[in-house]
Amino acid sequence: MPVCAGLHSGVSEQPPRSLHDLGFSEFADLLAAEGVIPHHAKVLWRALHRDGVLDLAGQEFLPPLKRWVAASVGPGKAFSLDAPAVVDEIRSTDGLTRKFLLRLNDGQVIETVLMGYDGRQTVCVSTQAGCAMGCVFCATGQMGFVRHLRAGEIVAQVLHARRVLKTIDPNKRLRNLVLMGMGEPLHNYDAVMQALEMISDVRGIGIGPSKIAISTVGVVPGILRLADEGRPFRLAVSLHGSTEEERAALVPASKRWSLALLMDACRKYGETTGKRIFFEWTLIAGKNDSPETAARLVELLRGIDAHVNLIPLNPTGGFVGTASQAGHGFQKILIAAGFPCTFRQRRGIDVAAGCGMLRAEKRVKSAQSQGSHEL
């Protein structure tokens, strides 16, 4: 019979393994190999994922578990935690959006956003440091790719948002998650899916899969994999162009996965899963906001259960956002063709995170000089 607190780990020569990287089953197996009994593994996993505890040593665990934690978790030991440090916090003027710059264990800085609109609490997380997709209107895209985030680093962002929300209003619950921060989620598929399994686990954070949205710029193999694997999450596809040329000018990744391939993948996804796809369209004056473009978009979407989200452009990269009249004209054409089409609130996710619209390095500088400031 295994007993808890077999102090097998002790000081380790290996880089520590983050406990936040481990889903419940893997966590239980690994701790069983360490001599931790299943009940104590469950208690520890819940403390980490449901209660968001970072100070494991300060918890009132039973003595065997306390001893295992003391011997195995911490600097120079076999296991570590993902506890990103807050470099900066930026609040919207209405106080409903908080954007955090978080420093990971290796010094990389990412952004996470907590939003509280329409009575819903939503967190927007990053999945990579930087991004390889290079969208021309996106500051993160101009940074280039640095590295993928581990599952634990994605989970840790949600746990951070939950802790903050608890301090704002303990009665509010974080119920929605969007993967629209820095990085392309489907370029980091395995870690993202591992993280989403943990985040949707009812023994932990427990955000329902239908309340989790994956936003992709059109990584075709990832969309097909989501369909094949029957993943229960929502899919949002950033389209931005109605012809190969129009899209390629804004989204360089479309040279690898053409618009034709992307729409085929979306059709297959819709047919396989029966799910609606949310198409994101950043309106850029003179680039993709004409009535002709809207009419072409209608043709592209024919046969797909699609909802179009129109996004007013954030001021970046010298592009100008579409005037409100032209935007509403664009919207009318889609609605007349039978597609639900809505504007995303500027003050919400697009202003706050919008695929990393502000450069992390700029924020670090601003953190050094100003501390907390407003959007």
CA distances from 196 to 22, 23, 100, 127 (A): 12, 10, 20, 11
What's 112's DSSP letter? Answer: E
Residues 321-360 that bind ligand SF4 (CB under 6 A): 355-356
Size of the site for ligand SF4 (CB under 6 A): 13
**CB distance 23 to 199 below 8 Å:** no
Catalytic residue among 135, 138, 341, 355: 355
CB nearer ligand SF4, residue 214 or residue 301: 214
Of 8-16, 177-185, 224-232, 330-338, which segment contacts ligand SF4 by CB under 6 A? Answer: 177-185
- List 5, 146, 217, 266, residue binding ligand SF4 (CB under 6 A): 217
CB nearer ligand SF4, residue 31 or residue 178: 178
Of 35-43, 136-144, 204-212, 242-250, which segment contacts ligand SF4 by CB under 6 A? Answer: 136-144
Can residue 134 be called a binding residue for ligand SF4 (CB under 6 A)?
yes
Which run of H or of E encompasses 149?
none
Write out the two tokens for 217: 């710029």
- List 44, 159, 161, 182, residue binding ligand SF4 (CB under 6 A): 182
CB nearer ligand SF4, residue 141 or residue 270: 141
Task: Give the separation between CA 28 and CA 34, rounded to whole angstroms.
Answer: 10
Q: How far is the CB of 293 from ligand SF4 (least distance, A)?
A: 19
- 282 backbone dihedrals φ, ψ, rounded to 5°: -80, 120
Can residue 149 be called a binding residue for ligand SF4 (CB under 6 A)?
no
Catalytic residue among 4, 34, 111, 184: 111
- List 44, 135, 159, 349, residue binding ligand SF4 (CB under 6 A): 135
Task: Give the separation between CA 160 and CA 98, rounded to whole angstroms.
Answer: 12
- Residue 4 among the catalytic residues: no
Task: Name, in order, each residue with C-beta under 8 angstroms of 184's C-beta and a sequence gap of 6 or more.
Answer: 127, 128, 131, 132, 133, 216, 217, 219, 253
Can residue 16 be called a binding residue for ligand SF4 (CB under 6 A)?
no
Give residue for tokens 């939950």.
Answer: 162
- Residue 111 among the catalytic residues: yes
CB nearer ligand SF4, residue 22 or residue 179: 179
Provide DSSP, 314-374: PS-TT--BPPHHHHHHHHHHHHHTT--EEEPPIIIIIHHTTTT-S-HHHHHHHHHHHSSEE
Q: What are the residue numbers of the active site?
A: 111, 355
Q: What is the binding site for ligand SF4 (CB under 6 A)?
A: 131, 133-135, 138, 140-141, 182-184, 217, 355-356
